[in-house]
Amino acid sequence: MLGAIEAGGTKFVCAVGDEQGTIIDRVQIPTTLPEETIPKVIEFFRKHPVKAIGIGSFGPIDVNRESASYGNVTSTPKVGWKDYPFVQAIKDAIPLPVGFNTDVNAAALGEATFGAAKGLDSCLYITVGTGIGAGAVVQGKLLQGLSHPEMGHILIRRHEDDPYEGKCPYHKDCLEGLAAGPAIEARWGVKGDQLVDKGEVWEMEGYYIAQALMQYIVIISPKKIILGGGVMKQRQIFPIIYKHLEKMINGYVNLPPLEEYIVSPGLGDNAGITGSLMLAHEAYEDEINREATRV
């Protein structure tokens, strides 16, 4: 049995399951201070005989195995979590192999293994919710370089009817600053789910997301694009995205029909936790291989 943690800004989902992605038991724990949240996480896994744990975490986090701060949350504004040694805290309590990556990379892995990109060695998973983030599988591996991607912070062109200054504390009007849930609420005065019938809201939102997809496509060329997160439950955005993206790309890149290429998560809200199970599976396999090399 494998353990999985999807660590989000408001809640932790902990689950146990198998390498076929079947979830056997799960629990939700509010994200408060680490010293409150983590003991409850440990308690859950103490009840289940897991052989490895995978963590898909809010970021930024240190995913570089050669780094001294590997396994830590890094520069988050979340109280108590800055520089928190996440992997070490879990390992100290439960000495097992631990896989560690971003929540969106985990979701991309989940979707590539069992979801909308099943069988593909390449996909992009984007979440549009309280923030905007994305993860990618490239040639069968989670995209990583100097660090994990921070794709929500790309610069985009402002919509001509948008006077809103933007909400990102670092970049003001980057993608996240103009198109995440809090930006929608700040611009229009109420939350997105109360704006369902306001066409201009989704026209603007679709324009911004289409610009982001244009950039991701010409840079990474993913084989499938999956749009998740709370804002993307407004299904009326999808045709608006297709319309703008088609115009922006203007035939330069050959893409599959956009309705098949840009889709909702095949695993619904389980993409992240399923991917975290896969991170556990990988961590276990890595450990076995290391043992084998040692012998």
Cβ atoms 114, 107 nearer than 8 A = no
The H or E element containing residue 109 is: helix 103-114
Cβ atoms 85, 72 nearer than 8 A = yes
Can you tell me the distance from the alpha carbon of 158 to that of 178, in angstroms, rounded to the nearest whole number? 8
Q: Is 73 helix (H, G, I), strand (E, B) or coil?
A: strand
**x/- map, 111-150, a copy of itself, by CB under 8 A:** -----------x---------------xx-x-xxxxxxxx
- Interface with a copy of itself, residue 198, by CB under 8 A: no
In the region spanning residues 218 to 237, those forming contacts with a copy of itself, defined by CB under 8 A, are 218-223
Question: Cis (ω within 30 of 0) for the bond into 60?
Answer: yes
Provide, rounded to whole angstroms, the least separation between the CB of residue 216 and a copy of itself.
7
For a copy of itself, the binding residue among 40, 51, 171, 233 (CB under 8 A) is 171
- Interface with a copy of itself, residue 153, by CB under 8 A: yes
Provide, rounded to whole angstroms, the least separation between the CB of residue 142 and a copy of itself.
9
Question: DSSP assignment, residue 105?
Answer: H
The H or E element containing residue 175 is: helix 175-179
Both tokens of 169, joined, read 């504390």
For a copy of itself, the binding residue among 77, 189, 251, 257 (CB under 8 A) is 251
**x/- map, 9-38, a copy of itself, by CB under 8 A:** ------------------------------
- Interface with a copy of itself, residue 76, by CB under 8 A: no
